[in-house]
Amino acid sequence: MLGKVLILGTLDTKGKEFSFIKEIIENTGIETIAMNCGVKGEPFFQAEISNTEVAEKGGSTLEKLVTDDDRGAAIGVMMNGAAQLTKELYVAGKLAGIISLGGSAGTTIATHAMQALPVGVPKVMVSTVASGNTRPYVGMKDVTMMYSVVDISGINLLSSKILSNAAFAISGMVKGKTPHLEDEKPLIAATMFGLTTPCVTKAREYLEEKGYEVLVFHATGTGGKAMETLIEGGYIKGVLDVTTTEWCDELVGGELSAGPNRLEAAAKMGIPQVVSTGALDMVNFGGIETVPDQFQDRNLYKHNATTTLMRTTREENNQLGKIIADKLNMNEAPSVLFLPLKGVSGIDAPGKPFYGPEENQSLFDALRKNVTNEAVEIIELDNHINDEEFAIAMAHKLIQLIEKQESILK
C-alpha cells in the first residue's frame, strides 16, 4: 500500500488552494494527511494535524502566538513544530511524500519541514519565490521548487494548471518505483578541490577498479554540507575526505565554509573514513576586490577572475590542526589520518606561490599532538598530496577499513 502525502501549509490564507491539490492527489488513489500551520484565521478545511499541535510542538501555544502578534516569532515556532511533526510521521512510516504552497513565509515553514526528511523522500514546493535564490529553502536536500508564476491567491485559469501539475508531480513521485540497478555498488564519498584533483582522481579510479562507486563532492561549502547530509542519510559506506579546506574558510572567514559541524557525520554514523589535509593552505574569497582590508598584506594568489586565495599562517594552521583533531577524536569506528609531508595542495610545492613548510609543520604538529583517540591511526608519507602513491595509499586503506567493518558486522 502506498504511503500518504503530507499537505502542509497555512490552511487559513491558502486553504482553498490546498483543498484543490488535495482533491487531485486523492483522485489519483493516494491518501493525504493535512497539517495546518496557519496562526490567526479559521482553516478552510479541518486538518488531521491542527495548528494548535504544531505550535505546541514548536515550543509555544497558539494563544500566545495570537496574543503576541509577532509574525517573525510565530513563523519560527510553526516551522520548528512542523519540522518535528513531519519527521515523526516519516519515522512512524506514515509519510511517503510532502507538498506545500506558499509565499515567503509559507515557503520558509514548509521547506524547513521538508529538510527534516531524508534525501529521496519526494518533496514539492510551489512558491512565489522559487525563481530567485532558492538555497535557503532547498538547503542540502532534494526539494523540488516550482515557481507559481502568479501569487497563490485563488483558483483561476493559470493557477489551476500550475497547481494541478504540482499535485500530479507529487503523486507520480510517490507512485513511481526506482529501478533496481543490476550492478549496484557500495558508495564512497570523496572531497575534491581544483588543487587536489590529481589525488582524488587517482584514488577514485583505484576505488572504482575495486568495485566501489565514488561520489565526488566539490569542497566549496555546499559540497561539504551535501556530503555530510548523505552520510547521515545512510547512503555512504566509507568516506575519503581528502580535501578538508572548508575548515579554513570557517576559521578565518572565507566564502566557502561548510559550517562548524563539518567532519562529524562519519563519526555519528560509525562508518570508516580516511581523512587528509587537502588545501588547508588556503582561504577563499571572490575577486581580488572582495578580500577584506585586514588581509591585504597577506600572501594572496589570484586563482582566476572570480577567486582569490589567501595562504593560511602558522597560527591558523595550528588552530586548524586542533579543530580537525577534535573532530577525529569523535570517531568510534576505525579511521585514518594521512599527512602529506611534502605539500597539501597543487600550489603548495617548491617554487609555487603557497609553498610553506613551516606553516605545514605547524598543522602537522597540532594534529600529532591533539589526535588522542586510539581509533584514529596517523599515517605520514613523504609525498605531496597529489602524488599517485599517496592517493592509492589512502584508497587502499579505506578499502581495508570497510572490509574489516563488514567482517565484524557479519
Tell me the per-residue pLDDT of 144-200, one tens digit each, with 9 for 90 and over: 999 999 989 899 999 999 999 999 999 999 999 888 766 778 999 999 999 999 999
Residue 167 maps to a domain = yes
Q: Are residues 227 and 91 in the same domain?
A: no
- Averaged pLDDT, 48-62: 97
Q: Which of 122, 140, 175 is the last residue of a domain?
A: 175
- For cell 600550489, the residue is 347
Which CATH number covers residue 138? Answer: 3.40.50.12020
In the predicted model, what is the mean pLDDT of the chain? 95
Q: Which of 153, 175, 197 is the last residue of a domain?
A: 175
- How far is Cα 161 from Cα 156, in angstroms, rounded to an integer? 8
Q: How many CA atoms lie within 13 A of 258 on its CB side?
A: 26
Residue 16 belongs to what domain range?
4-175
Q: Closest Cα partner for 247 from 236, 238, 260, 266?
A: 260
Q: Which of 136, 155, 175 is the last residue of a domain?
A: 175
pLDDT band at 410 (very low <50, low <70, confident <90, very high): low
- Per the structure, the count of domains in the chain is 2
Residue 114 has pLDDT above 80, yes or no: yes
Would you state the pLDDT for residue 1?
56
Q: Are residues 351 and 326 in the same domain?
A: yes
Q: Are residues 259 and 159 in the same domain?
A: no
Would you state the pLDDT for residue 407?
78
pLDDT band at 358 (very low <50, low <70, confident <90, very high): very high
- How far is Cα 201 from Cα 131, in angstroms, rounded to an integer? 35
Q: What digits encode the pLDDT tens for the residues 5-38?
A: 999 999 999 999 999 999 999 999 999 999 999 9
- How far is Cα 410 from Cα 100, in angstroms, rounded to an integer? 43
Q: Are residues 376 and 348 in the same domain?
A: yes
Residue 181 maps to a domain = no
Q: Are residues 152 and 40 in the same domain?
A: yes
Q: Are residues 213 and 281 in the same domain?
A: yes
Residue 97 has pLDDT above 80, yes or no: yes
- How far is Cα 243 from Cα 197, in angstroms, rounded to an integer? 10
- How far apart are the two ends of the chain, measured CA to CA in Å? 32
Q: Which three cell numbers stand for residue 274?
A: 580516511
- Averaged pLDDT, 387-396: 98
Which CATH number covers residue 313? Answer: 3.40.50.12030
